[in-house]
Structure 1
Amino acid sequence: MIEPFLSALPILKKLEDSGYDAYFVGGSVRDFLLGKPISDVDIATSATPDEVKKVFPKTVDIGIEHGTILVLYGDTSYEITTFRTESEYQDFRRPKEVSFIRNLEDDLKRRDFTMNAIAMDQSGKLIDPFDGQKAILKKIIQTVGQAEERFQEDALRMMRAVRFMSQLSFSIESQTLSALENLASLLDKIAVERKRAEFEKLLLGPNCKEAVNVMLNTGLYHYLPGLNDQKEQLKKLARLNWDSLAKNEMWALVLYCLNFDGKEVERFLRNWRLALKDIREIQQIIFFLSSRLNKEWELYDLYLAKRDTILSVEKLFQVINGMKEVQIINNLIKRYDGLSIKERGDLMVSGNDLLEWCNQKPGPWLKDTLLTIEQAIVEGRLINEKNNIKEWLMECNQK
């Protein structure tokens, strides 16, 4: 057994010493079997939430109605969930009622995919009633039980299926795939924020292109904001090749393929409920990418874009043009680093200086003149020194 399971073993031991069953479950066990990094562990137990709170002195009720308690142990916190069954689902997302049970297998039976329905005890023994290990070996995404039932219980599981396909480079089992196609319209019932979380993970997966093709073939894309009538544009995305793009770079690449203009870009991103900070960053990338696709970088473009945007734009430019030239990117950053100023605050003159020198009242000319000075300095036509700027400005005014 490895970390972080080892650090969490005392949690299982305390529960078992108190007379309850306890297991590691879910994604952490799956990733352990896949040899992937494990960020945290989830624990399932036969103890009810009240019983868990009696075992551990420091707890937080984070989802007690669904059986989940946060246990604070040392410097770490662990989510512990009681074995449960779920009644009829409402809104294709949430069960109407949760019942706590003492049986592990019945708890695993309610989970989405067989690879996520494996438990591990404190000795490292695996409990796998639905052949999740076999699915992992075959690299297959398959629901626990009937796919139609699992997707009608929680329609977001359809997005999770294609997200896992992207992240793990697995294929989707045939009956599960058919259910995706038959029940795709249920995605319309799911909150945009939940769909966005899955879609962003899908975009960042190494098998993203194949996952996008599955979304196209099953019709899932019809029920994602702004993508309903964008089949050909999404095919364009699936034909591109990229490595290691960040989240907002992937959104920008999607938008490039959609060929939206400025107002459409913001509307699209707002419909996905993105944070305003991310919207502004993506808009910045799209603006400079549009410029880059039409011409080479100029010094003033680099100055306006700033380092992070330059990197993002050039990475996307190379993806779009089928290039992989690290040296080009390094040279651009070197040019940016060599600029004499990086922002307007670096100017050695202010608006008050201009008012004094030009003996004029404040007005639009002031902003325009500062902009002219700023651009001349960036382009190397003017040295950023106060007397030098004054002389240059006086000469320009005399012409």
Structure 2
Amino acid sequence: MEDKARELLRILNDNGYAAYIVGGYTRDVLLGRKSNDIDICTSATPKEILDIFEDVKVSDMQYGSVVITYKGYKFDVTTFRKEIKYESNRRPIKIKYIRDIKKDLLRRDFTINTLCINDKGEVLDVLGVRSDLDNRILRTVGNPRYKIKEDSLRILRCIRFATILEFDIEKKTYYYLGKYGYLLKKLSMERKKEELDKIFSSKNKERGRRLILDLNLTNVLGINNLSNIILCTDLIGIWCQLEVEDIYPFTKVEKEQILCLRELLKYDEIDNYLLYKYGLYLCTVYADIKGLSKRNLNKMQSELPIFTRRDIVIHGNDISKILGKEPGKYIKNIMDDIEKKILYNKLANTYDDIKRYVIDNYME
């Protein structure tokens, strides 16, 4: 993918414009991490880019951002710009296109995200900050007092980078992360959750938790019980324990999983019925949170006598005929009882056995 990106850079260069791969991709390549997320910055404006390439989609004209599809790959391309004014401690409301890569890099968040790659594959350290990457230091570009205040998302981004990359946060930057933590109140719940998902998905998530706690951000993030939860491997397991589904955005399925897992966690162990009712996925998350072995769950599931209610050989209309009664709500109660008995191996899933059980226990 990088070779195609560099071809794209070359085309822009041949048309008289500066262009570079910038940001996370360059950082990750230098750290030996895999990355397919390539961002390109250029001195060409969106209009000039549209004149050069055929397959271009304007993603955000206000910020000079377009998406170029080139040889089957999509690349986010942004014009060099200077951000004049921010609103709500989040987004710039006034920008100015510029031709100078250095001025463009100065608007970025952290020094480790300012390294560039040119069309020849050479790494350019325009701001002279390569040592921060080599020494695994997170530092804002310029004074953190202003950088953090102008965009509160940078607080969570910094914690994410420190967690995932296992970097140390420069002392002054760290101070202002905590000082301006209250600004996270203005950040949308969607963006907060997006960053927290990445932090809690990291193999180094304990570091992320420690940073959030030490910076006193639990209240502004609405995750006041963070210090008490088990940092399991699954995100649903973590969000279930944080009990924030009413304030953070979740899909309908995710909310159902969280509520079901919370019910499941009330039990001391997994049996056939719970495995059948809640499924292997939630039971595996349960075992992770409880610190129990997950080794036997697959075997338990494969040996279940039934996997859905449709597997029961007798049905509601059979029960009404056996009892000589009109169908009614009572059928569901009987089927629930039969289902549990089968799962607990107290009743064989055969027509004759179930019929005899119904007659013995429900015939009036």
Q: Fold conserved (TM > 0.5)? A: yes
Alignment of 1:247-326 (within 5 A): 247-252=235-240, 254-255=241-242, 265=243, 268-291=244-267, 295-318=268-291
Alignment partner of 1:376 out of 304, 323, 341: 341
Per-residue CA deviations over 1:312-355 (Å, capped at 9, x if unaligned) read 1111111xxxx6xxxx3121220111011111122212111111
Return the alpha-carbon distance in structure 1 between the equivalents of residues 261 and 128 of structure 2.
Answer: 45
Q: What residue is the counterpart of 1:236 in the other structure? A: 228
Q: 1:311 to 1:360 in 2, by over 3 A?
A: same
8 Å CA contact 1:84, 1:101 repeated in 2: yes
Q: What residue is the counterpart of 2:199 in the other structure? A: 202
Amino acid at match of 2:262: I
Alignment of 1:120-139 (within 5 A): 120-139=117-136
Q: What residue is the counterpart of 1:42 in the other structure? A: 39
Return the alpha-carbon distance in structure 1 between the equivalents of residues 10 and 191 of structure 2.
Answer: 35
Report which stretch shifted further, 376-385 or 43-52.
376-385
Amino acid at match of 1:395: D
Return the alpha-carbon distance in structure 1 between the equivalents of residues 218 and 344 of structure 2.
Answer: 46
- Percent identical across equivalent pairs? 29
Q: What residue is the counterpart of 2:183 in the other structure? A: 186
Residue 66 of structure 2 aligns to a residue in which SS? strand
Return the alpha-carbon distance in structure 1 between the equivalents of residues 296 and 204 of structure 2.
Answer: 31
Report which stretch shifted further, 387-396 or 46-55.
387-396
8 Å CA contact 1:168, 1:205 repeated in 2: no
Residue 145 of structure 1 aligns to a residue in which SS? coil
CA shift, 1:385, in A, is 2.4
The answer to whether structure 1 residue 357 and structure 2 residue 322 are counterparts is: yes
The answer to whether structure 1 residue 162 and structure 2 residue 159 are counterparts is: yes
Q: What residue is the counterpart of 1:221 in the other structure? A: 218
Amino acid at match of 1:303: Y
Q: 1:335 to 1:31 in 2, by over 3 A?
A: same
CA shift, 1:216, in A, is 2.0
Return the alpha-carbon distance in structure 1 between the equivalents of residues 211 and 295 of structure 2.
Answer: 36
Q: What residue is the counterpart of 2:353 in the other structure? A: 388
- Which of the two has greater helix per residue? 1
Per-residue CA deviations over 1:109-146 (Å, capped at 9, x if unaligned) read 00000001111101122222334421122111110000
CA shift, 1:398, in A, is 5.9
Return the alpha-carbon distance in structure 1 between the equivalents of residues 129 and 238 of structure 2.
Answer: 31
Return the alpha-carbon distance in structure 2 between the equivalents of residues 241 and 376 of structure 1.
Answer: 36
CA shift, 1:376, in A, is 1.4
TM-score normalised per structure 1 = 0.87
CA shift, 1:67, in A, is 0.6
Per-residue CA deviations over 1:39-93 (Å, capped at 9, x if unaligned) read 2211111110011111110111111211111111222211111111111111111
**Aligned residues between the structures:** 364
CA RMSD of aligned residues (A): 1.7
Return the alpha-carbon distance in structure 1 between the equivalents of residues 128 and 203 of structure 2.
Answer: 25
8 Å CA contact 1:117, 1:130 repeated in 2: yes
Return the alpha-carbon distance in structure 2 between the equivalents of residues 34 and 184 of structure 1.
Answer: 29
Q: What residue is the counterpart of 1:18 in the other structure? A: 15
8 Å CA contact 1:92, 1:186 repeated in 2: yes
Residue 8 of structure 1 aligns to a residue in which SS? helix
